Amino acid sequence: MYLRGIRGATTVQHNDADEILSATSELLQAIVEANDFLPEDIGSVFITVTEDITATFPARAIRTLVGWELVPLMCSLEVPVENALPKCIRLMVQVNTTKTQAEINHVYLKEAKALRPDIVKLTNEATR
C-alpha cells in the first residue's frame, strides 16, 4: 500500500458560493471516478484557491458528501503568481492505494486544462 497524491483543478466563472461548491463537488467526483477509490481510502485532501475566490470554503462541498465527514480537509490560498489562471480551485487528494504513480489519473476541468495539457492528454487517452 502506498500514499499517492492525486491532483485536480477546475475553475469558476464567478466568485459565487454555489458555483464554488458545485465546481468542487464536480472535480472531486471526477477524481474519484477516474481513480476508483472510497472515502475510507483517503488520508487527507488539501484544497487551494486563487485569491479571487472568497465567497465560501470549497471544503464545505466535500464535508457534505456521505462518507466524507471524517476525511481531513484543509483549505489554503494558492501562491499569488503574476498572470496565473484566475478563479481556480485545486485539490491534492492523498489516497492509500496499491496503484503505481503511472496508474493514477489526475483530473483537470474547464479552464484548468491549460495548467497541465500533458496530463489532460494522457488522461483522455487512458479513458478511451
Catalytic residues: 7, 63, 75, 78, 90, 108, 116
Helices (H), 8-128: 17-35, 59-63, 117-126
Residue 54 per-residue DSSP state: -
Contact partners, residue 84, CB within 8 Å, separation at least 6: 50, 78
The single residue listed with the C-alpha cell 489562471 is: 85
